[in-house]
Amino acid sequence: MTIYSLYIYDRHCACVYYHDWQRVKPARPAIEGGILPAVSHEVTPNTNTPAAVDPSRRNTLMSLSGVVVAVNDEVPRTPLPNATSSPSLNSGLPFDEEAKLVYGVVLSLRNMIRKISGKDEQFVNYRTSTYKLHLYETLSGYKFIMLSDPNADSLRFVLRQIYSGPFLEYVVRNPLVQMDSKEHGIDNEYFRTSTDRMIRGLSVFQ
Amino acid sequence: MAARSSLQGAAITPSSSIPTLSALADPPARVMDGAAMDYFLIELVNTVRASSAVAVARTKKVEQEMIDAGLLPVPPPNAAAAPASMRDSMASTGSKLDGKIARDEDEEAVRLRLESIGMHVGANVAERLCHDRALFENTLDAIKFICKDLWSACWDKQVDNLRTNHRGVYVLQDNSFKTIQRISSWGGRADALKKAKIYVAMPAGIIKGALARLGLQTVVVPEITTLPQCTFQVKLPKGA
């Protein structure tokens, strides 16, 4: 039983934090302006290397062990010039597209379930053949989404622990983190190391 | 109202009102939720920053008007830091220097405001904490009071290390100072350290205010070497 990755979205529907432990293909940096600064050092666009982004390869059905990317055949929304880059980078979406997809899936499922079963029903997790996606939503609109292998039990309690532990300590009570801002994510050193330590210390991890 | 009724009751039924009177004289300690205090202090710094920016802009505007009206002499340009002959080539750095100086002035204004707020708070807290204590024999005693009672009242622990040079300078060291314990930044440790400096201005003011209320005029300088360790250097005037 392993845990693949963690996404945190705020109530403005933007990804404010990303952390991964295992991926088949490395996360690709986002397009400039696609994600907020301070989400994750791995996926922040680096303006010095424009060759890292290649959106023209998106029309494929990819199966990463962390994210199943089912892309329709639409023209890419942000027209960017084709960049020549090494084949290892032409895999999967840039991070901001991926984050939006994950959020979109969660939001649509949640709304559909509410419409079908009423307001009291809550979307908790869903499972496919390669991964399981768990959702924990707080009253303040923060959504904690975790992807794990399909055989895992419900990890909702883990997400709840992340919320009441590292999140409250190092994000809410941290003077330097602007919560609810539309321009910054919530990544910082202490939060990252404490969530990492917490997840790695779980019995369900690897 | 409650006080008056208890005093009136004292004449008639002393036995039942004694607990009320003693409760008045020695009120139970009131505590404040630590998290609520943290949130309040975070907002305090942001608010003071915004309001001080407005105040500084206002004084600058008035100054500029007076300069334009000829009432004040024109101040020497800040590019005096860069030699005048090289001003053209250093125009960009000159403006950067101006920007930096302006930002430092703003930070200094914020720091002063936070420190004076801290002084008021510290004075009143010290008043409350020493209401049943004996007088302090000497300065060292007063500093020790700060290290123990004030620190536990404000930050739930005691100072870890107190050093002095016996000539009026005391260094109080806290290895895990509560106010900056959770500060962490996207930009790494160095960035967090730089930004944390403003958050220790108010605690320094608390110490200064407490000592002032106890009769000692001091200068308190906070220093952060590594997060979350913080030292406060307390300088007493000569002869104390």
Question: Is A170 part of the contact surface with chain B (CB cutoff 8 Å)?
Answer: yes
- Chain B residues with CB inside 8 Å of A191's CB? 184
* Domain boundaries, given as residue ranges, for chain B: 93-240
Q: Which of residues 14-43 of A touch B (CB under 8 A)?
A: 37-38
- The residue of chain A with its CA nearest to that of B181 is A174
Residue type at A198?
M
The phi, psi pair for B43, rounded to 5°, reads: -65, -35
* A173/B195 Cβ within 8 A: no
CA distance B50 to chain A (A): 15
Query: Residue B207 — φ and ψ, nearest 5°?
Result: -65, -45
Helix (H, G, I), strand (E, B) or coil at B164: strand
Residue B103 structure tokens: 């930002």
HSE of B51 in the Cβ direction (CA atoms, 13 Å)? 10
Chain A residue numbers with beta carbons less than 8 Å from the beta carbon of B196 are 176
Closest CA of chain B from A144, distance in Å: 20
CB contact A121 to B (< 8 Å): no
Please name the member of B182, B185, B186 whose beta carbon is closest to the beta carbon of A173: B182
Please indicate whether, in this complex, the C-beta atoms of A189 and B39 are within 8 angstroms of each other: no
Average pLDDT over residues A34-41: 68
β-strand pairing of B161-164 with B169-174: antiparallel
Is A104 buried (19+), middle (13-18) or exposed (0-12) by CB count in 10 A? exposed
Indicate the pLDDT class of residue A80, thresholds 50, 70 and 90: very low
d(CA A47, CA A51): 10
Q: Which CATH number fits domain B93-240: 3.30.70.330, 3.30.1380.20, 3.40.50.300, 3.30.1600.10?
A: 3.30.1380.20
- Is the Cβ of A180 closer than 8 Å to some Cβ of chain B? no
Q: Whole-model pTM?
A: 0.73
More confident residue, A145 or A206: A145
- Chain A residue with CA closest to B37: the answer is A173
Strands (E), chain B: 161-164, 169-174, 219-224, 230-235
Q: Domain A3-73+123-200 belongs to what topology?
A: Beta-Lactamase (3.30.450)
Q: What angle do CA A182, A186, A189 make, to 5 degrees?
A: 155
When pLDDT is averaged across residues B59-69 and rounded to a whole number, the result is: 89
**In degrees rounded to 5, what are phi and psi of residue B143?**
-65, -40
Which residue on chain A is closest to B36 by alpha carbon? A173
Sign, CA dihedral A32-A36-A38-A40, equals negative
Distances in whole angstroms, Cα of residue A65 to Cα of each of A2, A7, A26, A130, B61: 11, 15, 11, 6, 60
Q: Do B184 and A174 touch (CB under 8 A)?
A: yes
Mutation choice for A interface testing from B41, B186, B191 by most A CBs within 10 A: B186
What does the pLDDT read at residue A33?
61
Q: In whole angstroms, what is the distance from residue B142 CA to residue B211 CA?
A: 8
**Distances B101 to A85, B81, B85, B93, B98 between C-alpha atoms, Å:** 44, 11, 21, 12, 5
pLDDT tens string A132-187: 999 999 999 999 999 999 988 888 999 999 999 999 989 999 888 888 888 888 88
Distance from CA of B91 to the nearest CA of A (A): 27
Structure tokens at A13: 């529907």
Q: What pLDDT, in 10s, does the model give residues B17-62?
A: 667 777 777 777 777 788 888 888 889 999 999 999 999 999 999 9
In this prediction, residue A38 carries a pLDDT of 65
- Say if CB A4 and CB A131 are below 8 A apart: yes
Helix-, strand-, coil-residue percentages of chain B, each rounded to 5: 60, 10, 30
What distance in Å separates residue B191's CA from the closest CA in chain A?
A: 10
Complex confidence, ipTM: 0.71
Name which of B42, B182, B189 to mutate to probe chain A: the one with the most chain A Cβ atoms within 10 A of its Cβ. B182
CB contact under 8 A, B184 and A189: yes
Q: What is the pLDDT of residue B48?
A: 92
